[in-house]
Amino acid sequence: MDLGDLQRTLAATYLDRDLARGADGTFRWMVEEVGELARALRDGDPAALRHEAGDVLAWLISVANVAGVDLDASAARYAQGCPRCGRRPCTCPMR
């Protein structure tokens, strides 16, 4: 499944609820899932990492859907490599 397909699937599944919750509420749910991903990273549990990474991705897509952001267009910024230096791998100084 590509990103656009997933965005459309999640819109068909959750957009009404996400719109009712609003951008701020949907964003806060995503942040909570980021915290759960951080816990899974600390614990080093591969199954939990896979689960929580999927949840973070789904909530990010929900935030984008509520905000009207086309994630295919957003991701295109990285299609040729680093958007700053234009290289693969990136040669920008580490931040």
Instruction: Tell whether the model's pLDDT for residue 1 goes beyond 90.
Output: no
pLDDT the model gives residue 95: 82
Maximum Cα–Cα distance across the chain: 43
Q: What is the pLDDT of residues 15-36, one digit of tens each?
A: 999 999 999 999 999 999 999 9
Q: Check: CATH 3.50.50.60 for 3-78?
A: no
Three-state SS letters, 4-53: HHHHHHHHHHHHHHHHHHHHHHHHHHHHHHHHHHHHHHHHCCHHHHHHHH
- The reported pTM is 0.91
Distance of alpha carbon 81 from alpha carbon 61, whole angstroms: 22
pLDDT at 54: 98
- pLDDT on residue 66: 98
Q: Position of tokens 């999640």?
A: 10
Instruction: Provide mean pLDDT across the span 63-72.
Output: 98
Q: Which residue has the tokens 């100084």?
A: 93
